[in-house]
Chains A and B, each alone.
Chain A
């Protein structure tokens, strides 16, 4: 799975510009799905299984977009000012490298600001090595992602867009391993999550599921001093979401996931995320309302160029999802 994760995290795809990563995912899915389509906002929707009498129409959503930058101004010397796509922290930008969708590379520089002050995005600029506006290959509206290679630390893995490509890898692996299911499962590889769950909103309307859940990363509370107020830790198993600031998981889904994990002897942890949202909200609030939840992978340093996850958590998440989808779903 590590090579799949490496391939997914190293493909650029800021929100709204997911066409390359979508092609990579379509290729990775191959013939593991019965049917693949792309909706108006660019989400890739892979259907597997036929709904039996005990079956349901299930939507699973993993977002394929990542945070990035968009150029707002090219000055006479060829330096670029930019705005954020999704939650970009200016603190992690300076000295970083970016990759434009056409392959152009650049580095992030900073205006001289008062020592010790945290820069704002407006204090930063991109330098693509141009000598003037005329020879600058980038124009207003062009989009770039952060560029960092995947690193394998053994048990732990680090990359720029574990959020949420690690979940896309989980979904692909589940598609591959799922041998039989009583359900009609729609694996949605959603777009524009980082700018407001937009892709999942239209995908959920289109799929019209009986039940659904997101797969996403969540923060971990296991770093030194003043770590996030979170019970989650890397390596403690897939996290079953109870709530985040965008939605409250259906308690019946929480119980269903806990029971499945315990039956299968898989580690799991419970997640309460005070600041952050997922596609689960978009599924829950579509049409007349849908029971919805989320399975999370604990992740350190989210929205930095070095997001860290645990490989056992990833494997256990796959096993949990295969178990969940292989059997009839009884919500109590």
Chain B
């Protein structure tokens, strides 16, 4: 495709009711790191009719390939993680109260009083909290450590739960107007985007889609997925926090927002785990400008995505990340916009269509 040539609108994948229904199913599924089978089954069902090759590897990653046509096709790996943050039951106490641990980064201040779903059967439980009637003023000043909290399942249900069972927040997916409220948008957004891209795979590349496991506990699945795919380049598709809220004393003083809602896909320049290859930063920002897709640069700084292990695989793989912004990440409920999700999908498609062997022919320039 030549420069400044826009893609025919009819070819660009979009977000409609079918895609929103699928995202709902993905977000409501439970897939705490290490037990991703519920999401994996949805992914496999969706991609079986369209992928040329599908493999589930030893760690549980789904590795799907869609071959393009023509000579010198670049092998592009896309990675989105299937796992989510959550809890693991550690010990049963009397009266069907269960001690638990956190899996992945969760702020313990957010736990008391939340509903959870335990195990593969989604058994309903409650993270108990002492009612305000009984607490003292001093108690209310301090956070309650996770070791002092219990998941209360009650009789009959409690008998079905054992140590090692995983749990998620019980939040159910809601769409209202331009917004979505759900748990696990990190990274079911990415999973949903990869499914759409497999269904609308550009023909100029070999698309290597990795639906990865155990990202939230240290990018573990992507490490072996990248080794097996051994791609020419990689893009991690994830969801990143938007903390675009007014500062408590002065609106202009919020200079650490990470990303902003409604500003489009967040292109990464640098996080704690990866310094993005500038050739790929340019590929994405140029594609956005040419297709008139809104985009933003994620503020450089902390955090990490699957790209952190992918780019260090074997002799090195040029890598970058793109995220859908979402407020209140890693809490019981996130809030995001359908348009940011749709524009992330459009941007990735527009960028992939523009991938040629020339892109990576020269030396890395930052």
Contact = CB atoms under 8 A, between A and B. Distances in A.
B270 A141 contact: yes
Contacts of A141: 269-270, 281, 297, 300
Interface stretch (A34-42, A155-163, A223-231, A250-258): A34-42
A202 B363 contact: no
B255 interface: yes
Given A40-B317, A81-B255, A19 B300 contact: no
B364 A70 contact: no
Interface residues of A, number: 34
Contact of B316 (A41, A83, A143): A41
A83 B363 contact: no
Interface residues of B, number: 23
B256 interface: yes
Interface string A277-306: 000000000000000000000000000000
Nearest to A22: B363
Contacts of A122: 256
Given A16-B270, A19-B364, A73 B317 contact: no
Interface string A78-93: 0001010100000000
A217 to B, nearest CB: 22
B312 to A, nearest CB: 5
B299 interface: yes
Contacts of A85: 270, 275
B366 interface: yes
A18 B365 CA distance: 8
A83 B312 contact: no
A76 interface: yes
A205 B314 contact: yes
B51 to A, nearest CB: 27
Nearest to A207: B315
B284 to A, nearest CB: 12
A28 B312 CA distance: 28
B105 interface: no
B311 to A, nearest CB: 7
Contacts of B363: 19, 22, 38, 42
B190 interface: no
Given A16-B366, A143-B366, A195-B275, A76 B252 contact: yes
A83 B301 contact: yes
B316 A40 contact: yes
A201 B252 contact: no
Nearest to A41: B316
Contact of A205 (B270, B315, B318): B315
A85 B270 CA distance: 9
Given A72-B256, A76-B252, A141-B297, A206 B315 contact: yes
Q: Identify which of A19, A40, A139, A202 gathers the most chain B CB atoms within 10 Å of its CB.
A: A40
Interface of B: 252, 255-256, 269-270, 275, 281, 297, 299-301, 311-318, 363-366
Given A19-B365, A42-B363, A143-B366, 12 more contacts: A19-B364, A38-B364, A39-B315, A41-B311, A41-B364, A42-B364, A72-B255, A72-B256, A72-B300, A73-B255, A83-B299, A140-B299
26 contacts: A19-B363, A38-B363, A39-B315, A40-B364, A41-B312, A72-B300, A73-B299, A75-B252, A81-B255, A81-B256, A83-B300, A85-B275, A101-B366, A122-B256, A140-B269, A140-B297, A140-B299, A141-B269, A141-B270, A192-B275, A198-B311, A198-B312, A202-B312, A202-B315, A203-B316, A205-B315
